[in-house]
Structure 1
Amino acid sequence: MTPEERLAALGLELPEVVAPLAAYLPAVRTGDYVYTSGQLAMVGGKLEVTGKVGAEVTPEVAAEQARICALNGLAAIASVAGGLSNITRIVKVVVFVASAPGFTGQPAVGNGASELLAEVLGEAGRHARSAVGVAVLPLDAPVEVEFVAEVR
């Protein structure tokens, strides 16, 4: 199955690329690589969940937010690569988790993004990853995810 077919089988579709919140591009291609800016879990132009993970946001909700971030990241990559089928590998994913003091479940939150990438891209979606806790993210988002992808 193609990535587009896998996405449809999951009942998902690529959203519009999220408009930048400041002076940057959502994704930049250089040679065979695409680097994305940090992707928030925007749906229809809105951030539906805010707060710190481990306080106002449960880890389970945060993992779902990371999944939405990954879908937005795929849209950004596809926009400069000519479609999902031109992604040959997700190389690196960095997951930022706005964490309440003492919260240490960042890797489980990041799994929301990682699992979606593997579901859509198969083996090409498996990647290196960092998941780090931070004090605050733009718009009080609980999760932000950025990507490096190899493309054809």
Structure 2
Amino acid sequence: MNIIWGGAGDPATNEAIAGFVAAHIDGCGRGFADFTTLGVTAEGRLVAGVVYHSYSPEAGVVELSAAATSKGWLTRPVLKAMFGYPFDEIGCQMAVLRVSEENAGMVSIARRFGFTRYRIPRLRGREEAEIIFTLTDNDWRAHPVNQR
């Protein structure tokens, strides 16, 4: 697996990764605005993407949206790059994920990586709650993936 970056330096790649992520997240048809992306490729194909959006430099907070078609994409190098960007490159103190409570796979992943969970009823509509997950830079740095 290889890591690729979008962003202002490569707008075509940035748009392609964001389009991939949006296409794989229910309710994300409008896509993203003002974003930077990380992609993961295998055998020359995009198999996962992360979109960094809703960045608030004043608060030091950025939101991440991610999608994948491969289960093996969350390797140690990908995790270090994925969280290195918000915490080390742009100096965020918190990363935020918004996940449908029905997305058991992503809920499980967020818990394993030390995110704190906040369930908000009806945030995805009358019949569906959303979970807001937060991860501070301190919690990320204390995670076992960073201890080797």
Same fold (TM over 0.5): no
TM-score calculated relative to the size of structure 2: 0.31
| Structure in which a larger fraction of residues adopt strand | 2
Determine which structure has the larger helix proportion and give its number: 1
Determine which structure has greater relative contact order: mean sequence separation of CA pairs < 8 Å that are 6+ residues apart, divided by chain length.
1
